[in-house]
Amino acid sequence: MDGNLNALTTVFTEFYYWVTVVFMFLIHVGFCMYEVGASRHRNHMHTLMKNIMIIPLVTVTFFFFGWWIYWAFPNFPFFGGLNHEAGAANLPWSQNMATNLSDRITGVFWAAFLLFSWTAASIVSGAVIERIRSSALWVHAVMIGSVFWIIDAAWGWHAEGWMVKYLGYHDAYASGVIHAIAGGYALGVIMVLGPRLGKFAADGTPRDIPPHNPWMLTIGIFLIYSGFWGFYAACNIPVISPEGIGGLLTGDTWTATNIYLAPTSLSAITFNFLMSLSGGLMAAYVVSKGDAFWTFSGGLAGIITASAGNDLYHPIQAMLVGAVGVVIVYNLHYWVERRFKLDDAVGAVAVHGYSGIVGLILAGFLLWGAPSSPYEGYATVNPVGQTIGAVIMFGVLGWLPGFLIAKMQAAAGVLRIPVEVELQGLDYAEHHAYEEAKAEIIAADKAALNGGSVPAE
């Protein structure tokens, strides 16, 4: 770092990303609590374990190859080869990927992207509760977290990504880059996995399986809101000089930029985050006729719908986009459920996938003609580019690999748990020691009560 100003900027950026990562960790905590609250008691330990193991599995694989994909794939394979130079600087044995006092940014920037990877995997996890094998879910977690989502980030989020250059794709806070792809992937898996036992009556009528613990579910969604706010900050670069991007920014004042290196501010995105949250909550309350859980989820769906353009929308636009998106998503969810008999246990496909698609398409119309990037020669935002982008995110990189991998797992007999295990509960099948210890202490307590004696210490 040459000079005190550069040193201050570097240390501030390092600290900024570190703080966003800590906030984003709350998303994973929230997903764990939400899933446990939604699942029935006999599956709680299994639900926690499959979510906890997402952390090491996705972290290690993202370290070994996920991060390299982001830097090597922006134009691969359609508009050029691999970017070997950028990729080499982010391989596991690169000096940037270790303790290095001359590089204080790569580690915290890597961590911010890694937390996005956990989020993508957790979205899929929620849709498949109570009937998927843990090992099957972990394969999907690695594939969506360390392969497919990071390919879409390279194409549609990297400043030189081909979708940004040629389609005018604009997705500042990840309507498609994380949410549409994860929702699409979850849809592909549940189409093969099938519904939970008892979800549909003999005549095909869907049954509501209410959450086991609504309090835990509610706290979970509030933690997801909090982490999502940190996620918005993590999608910005906090301080950059105009010279830092080749002089394309004008003026003497250093600025924050969005992921595409266009000027923005935390103030701007705070307006729009909260207004889209509020629009989603109000619309969900109205359209669901006051259903508590759809109202809570509607807040999240509202933010996701507006996220593609929340760097450029007026706050009132953000509120209306969030509200309109929720009305579409709510009706689409129940139409798909009844028409195709699909069981999305927590509404993940709707809240993340359908919201992401709707948000991308709406942004194409509302931001028509706006620059997708500050770089010259890039296509401007347009409805066609955004719609093609939505298809790529949800269908090509999301639904298709999820469906094919689940098909292979089903053919090998390693996707779904046996019927007797589903009826008994996954905790009895996969966590013997925990269940046996519970049964032993309960038996001891009953014996003590019946005999009037105190249990042995």
pTM of the predicted structure, to 2 decimals? 0.93
Q: What pLDDT sits at residue 384? A: 98
Residue-wise pLDDT for 392-421, tens only, equals: 999 999 999 999 999 999 999 999 999 999
Q: Which residues does 229 contact at the CB level (< 8 Å), separation at least 6?
A: 23, 273
Report the distance separating Cα 298 and Cα 200, nearest Å. Answer: 24
* pLDDT over 90 (residue 438): no
pLDDT of residue 454: 57
Give the pLDDT score at 239: 85
Computed over every residue of the chain, the mean pLDDT equals 92
- What is the DSSP secondary-structure string of 56-88? HHHHHHIIIIIHHHHHH-TTTTTSS---HHHHH
pLDDT at 249: 63
Banded model confidence at residue 261, pLDDT cuts 50, 70, 90: confident
- Residue 120 has what pLDDT? 95
Q: How many residues can be counted in the chain?
A: 457
Higher-pLDDT residue of 153, 450: 153
Report, as an integer, the average pLDDT of 313-333.
Answer: 97
pLDDT of residue 256: 87
**Which residue is associated with the tokens 């595409």?**
260
Q: At a CB cut-off of 8 Å and minimum separation 6, what does 111 contact?
A: 17, 18, 21
Q: Which long-range contacts (CB under 8 A, 24 or more apart) does 235-243 make?
A: 235/172, 235/173, 235/174, 235/259, 236/264, 236/266, 236/269, 237/13, 237/261, 238/12, 238/13, 238/16, 239/9, 239/12, 239/13
**What are the pLDDT digits (tens) for 68-105?**
999 999 999 988 889 999 999 999 999 999 998 888 89
Segment holding 204, helix H or strand E: none
* Residue with tokens 């001359």, as numbered in its chain: 102
The predicted structure's pLDDT at residue 69: 97
The pLDDT assigned to 366 comes to: 98
- Quick: pLDDT tens for 12-35: 999 999 999 999 999 999 999 999
C-alpha distance from residue 331 to each of 204, 212, 276, 335, 453 (Å): 18, 25, 19, 6, 59
Q: What is the pLDDT of residue 255?
A: 83
Q: What is the pLDDT of residue 455?
A: 57
- Tens of pLDDT, residue by residue over 324-381, are 999 999 999 999 999 999 999 999 999 999 999 999 999 999 999 999 988 888 999 9
Q: What is the mean pLDDT of residues 203-225?
A: 92
Provide the pLDDT for residue 341.
94
Q: Which residue has the tokens 């694989």?
A: 61
Name 212's Cβ contacts closer than 8 Å, sequence gap at least 6: 36, 37, 38, 39, 40, 41, 44
Give which of 307, 348, 54, 321 is closest to 221, Cα–Cα. 348
Please report the pLDDT score of residue 456 as a whole number.
55
pLDDT value for 263: 86
pLDDT value for 452: 63
pLDDT category of residue 241 using cuts at 50, 70 and 90: confident
